[in-house]
Structure 1
Amino acid sequence: MKIIIPVLSLETGGGARFLYELANGLADRGHNVEIVIPQSAVIVWPLRAKVRRVPELAADFLPPGDFILPNFYPTVMPAWQAKKGRVVRLSLVYEPLILTDVADLSKNTYSIDAPILTISEWQHEIILQETGRDSTVIHGGVDGSVFHPCPKPSRQSGRKTIFYILRGPGYTWKGNEDFFQAYERLRARFSGFDITAVAPEGLTFTGSIPCAIKKAPTDEHLARLYGEADLFVYTSYYEAFGLPPLEAMACGTAVVTTDCGGTRDYARSGENCRVVPPSDIGQLTEAIYELLSDDAQREHLARNGYLQAQAWSWQRTAAEVERFLLSL
C-alpha cells in the first residue's frame, strides 16, 4: 500500500513519536510510506519511511496514495480536499480538550466522512460523546530494545531518585505545579531522595526544589534516566494515551501516575503502578511517600509494570493499523 502521512513536525512529544514509530513500522512491513512535512519543520528521529518536504501542507502539495492519514486538525482538511487517496482520520489527541481557542474549528475536522483511528479506549469514549462518531482503537507501544532496565544507583548509595518530565508553559495540563507542591509536602516527611528531570522546552525548576536537569538527546539517554530512577512521577490532567509511564515501566521503574484517561488501558493501581486523581496534591504526595519509603511495594510494582510493558510494542501498533487499512 502507498500510505501518505502529512505532519506539521516531528519534534519531541508523544504524538510525534507515535507518527514516527508508525511510519517506520509500516515501512518495515513493506509498505510505501511517505511523510509529507513543511520545508522548515523539524525531524528529530531517524525515519526509514520516505520524506517529502513541501512549501505548506495544502491539498496541491500532497502526493497521491492508497491512504492518507491526517493526524492533527490542520492536516485534516487538506487531506480531505486533495481527493488523492482514502482518508483515515488518525486522532492522537482530541484537540478541543487542549486547544480551547480553536475548539470549534478542530471539532469540525471530526465530521468528515472518514473512518477514525484513535489511541485509547478513553479517547474513543470522548470522541463518541463529543461528536457522535465511532472510532477504532489502535494503541501505542514502547521499543523494548531501547527502553529496558539498567542498574539503579540507589542500590549502592541508598538514596532514592525521582524522575520527572518538566514541560513548558504551553502545557498547563501536564501538572508541573502539582508536582512542585507535592515535593514541598514530601520533603518535610522524607529527605533521602533527589529529583532528576528532563525539560524538553528548556525550563528550570523554580523556588527551593533541588533538581538535576538532564539532557536526553536520544532515546537511549532518556531510557537510562528512566531506568536509573527509583520512581517516575506523571502528573497530567488528561492524555490521549500517555507514553512516559509505559516507557518507565519498560525500564523497570515504579510509576505514580494521575488518572489522566489514556493510561487506563495499561495502568492498574496497586498492581503495576499507583494511580491518583489529577490535581489531588494530598494523594499524589502520599503515593510518592509510600513508594519511596517501602522498598518491597515499590519493587513489586516495578516488576509488574515491566511485565505489563512487554506486551506493548510498536510492531503490534503497525500490524493493527495495517490490518485496519486492509479491511477497508
Structure 2
Amino acid sequence: MRFTFPILTLSHGGAQRMLVELTNGLTAMGHQVTILMPVDGVVSYDVHSTLMRTTHMALQEQDYPSGDVIVSNFHTTVPTSQAASNLGKGIHVRLSLCYEPPFLPDSSLSFPSYHVTEHLIVLSHWQQELIRLNHGITGNIVPIGISSSFKNMNIRHSLQEPLNITAILRKAERGFSWHREQNYLIEQLDHVKNQFSNVNINFISPPDEFNTSEVLQRMKATGKYRFFTPANDEELCYHYNGADIFVSSSIFDTGSLPGLEAMRCGAALVSVYSGGNMEYARHEKNCLLSFRYENRLGEDVIRLIQDPNLRTKLAAQGEKSSHKWTWENSVKLFEQAIRDIL
C-alpha cells in the first residue's frame, strides 16, 4: 500500500516516536510510505521512509502525493488531509495520538476535527471510550510499544550510587505541559528529598528543550537535582537503567510511554493514573498508582524507599509484563486496522 503521513515535527516525544516506529515498520514490511513535512519540520529520529518536504511553512492539499491512504494525526493535519482525500489522493484515516480538546489550546478547532472522518485509530481503551462518548466514533486500538533498544542492563548495583529517583521533565515555557503536573511532581520529589536527603533526584529532558528552557536550567543551577539530556535511545536506556524508581505525574496521556519504557529497563514505577497507562499499569502488582486528588505520589515513592522488597518485586513484575508491548505488534495491528478500513 501507498501511505502518506503528514507530520509537522519529529522532535523528541512519545507521539513523534510512535509515528516514526509505525512509518519505519510499514516501510520494513514493504509498503511505500511518504512522510510529508513543512520546510521547517524538525527530525530527531532515524527515518527509513521517504521524507518529502514542502517549500512552505504550512501543508497544503496540493503537496500530497497520490496514494492509497492518508494518515493524519494532530488536529491541524486533518483539514488538508481531508482536502487531499477529496482530490482522490487516498482514503483519510485519523491516527489520534492524543485527544487534544481537553488539554491543548484551540479546542474550538480540535473538537470538530473529530467529525471530519469516521476512520479513526486510537492508542488505548480509555481514549477509545472518551472519543466514542464525545463524538460517536469508535476507533480501532493500536497500542504503544517499546523499542528493542530498551532493556534491563542490570547495572544498578555496579553503579554504586545512592538510590536514584528519576522522572521526565519537559520544557514548560511553551505552555503545553500543564497536564503533566510538573509542579506537583517537583513538589512531591522535594518532599521525598527532605525526608531522605541521601537519594538522588534525577530529571530527564530532551536536549533541545533543556537548552532553550530557562526554568530547567535554573533548576539545575540550584544543585538540588541532576539533569540528563539523552541524545538517543542508547543514552535514554542507560538513564532508565540508572533509576531505581521512575516517577510519572501526568494526568492525561493516551499512551504514557516513558513509564512503560522505564519498566522494561527494570525500574519500579510510581505513577498517577493518566488514562492511557491503565493499559499496562496495575496497582501493587507491577507499580504503585494513585489518583491525582489523593496527593500521595511522594508517599508512594517513600513507601518504595522504605520497602526494598516491594520495590524489587514491583520492578521485576513491571519488567516481565512490559515484554508484551512491542512496536512490531503495533505495526501489525496498524496494518490490519487499515486493511479493515479499506
TM-score greater than 0.5 by the shorter chain: yes
CA contact (8 A) 2:142 2:330 kept: yes
Q: CA deviation at 1:114?
A: 3.0
- List aligned pairs for 1:141-290, cutoff 5 A: 141-144=145-148, 146-154=149-157, 157=160, 159-169=162-172, 170=175, 171-200=177-206, 201-202=209-210, 203-204=216-217, 205=219, 210-278=224-292, 280-281=294-295, 283-290=296-303
5+ residue gaps, structure 1, are: none
Q: CA deviation at 1:276?
A: 1.0
TM-score by length of 1: 0.95
Taking a change above 3 Å as real, the CA distance of residues 128 and 209 of structure 1, as seen in their structure-2 partners, is farther
Deviations 1:200-247 (A, max 9, x none): 221232796711111200011011100111010000011011100000
CA contact (8 A) 1:175 1:236 kept: yes
CA distance in 2, matches of 1:16, 1:113: 22
TM-score by length of 2: 0.91
Deviations 1:141-175 (A, max 9, x none): 0013x110123445663620011111122211111
C-alpha RMSD of matched pairs (Å): 1.6
1:72 aligns with 2:78: no
CA contact (8 A) 1:178 1:235 kept: yes
Describe the SS at the equivalent of 1:95: coil
- List aligned pairs for 1:16-165, cutoff 5 A: 16-54=16-54, 55=56, 56-83=58-85, 84-99=89-104, 101-144=105-148, 146-154=149-157, 157=160, 159-165=162-168
CA contact (8 A) 1:152 1:230 kept: no
CA contact (8 A) 1:154 1:160 kept: no
Structure 1 counterpart of 2:74, which letter? Answer: F
Deviations 1:237-291 (A, max 9, x none): 110111000000110111001101000000001111111112543x111110011
1:300 aligns with 2:302: no
Structure 1 counterpart of 2:46, which letter? Answer: P
5+ residue gaps, structure 2, are: 211-215
CA distance in 2, matches of 1:183, 1:46: 34
Describe the SS at the equivalent of 1:109: helix
Between 207-216 and 41-50, the greater mean CA deviation after superposition = 207-216
Q: CA deviation at 1:92?
A: 0.5
Residue in 2 that maps onto 1:309:
322
CA distance in 2, matches of 1:183, 1:51: 41
CA distance in 2, matches of 1:183, 1:265: 25
Deviations 1:278-318 (A, max 9, x none): 2543x111110011221111111111111111110001011
Structure 2 counterpart of 1:133, which letter? Answer: I
Structure 1 counterpart of 2:243, which letter? Answer: A
Describe the SS at the equivalent of 1:52: strand
CA distance in 1, matches of 2:194, 2:226: 20
Q: CA deviation at 1:128?
A: 1.1
Structure 1 counterpart of 2:251, which letter? Answer: Y
Q: CA deviation at 1:190?
A: 2.1
CA contact (8 A) 2:75 2:110 kept: yes
Describe the SS at the equivalent of 2:46: coil
CA contact (8 A) 1:232 1:253 kept: yes
Structure 1 counterpart of 2:38, which letter? Answer: P
Deviations 1:167-202 (A, max 9, x none): 122211111111221123223432331012122221
Q: CA deviation at 1:112?
A: 1.6
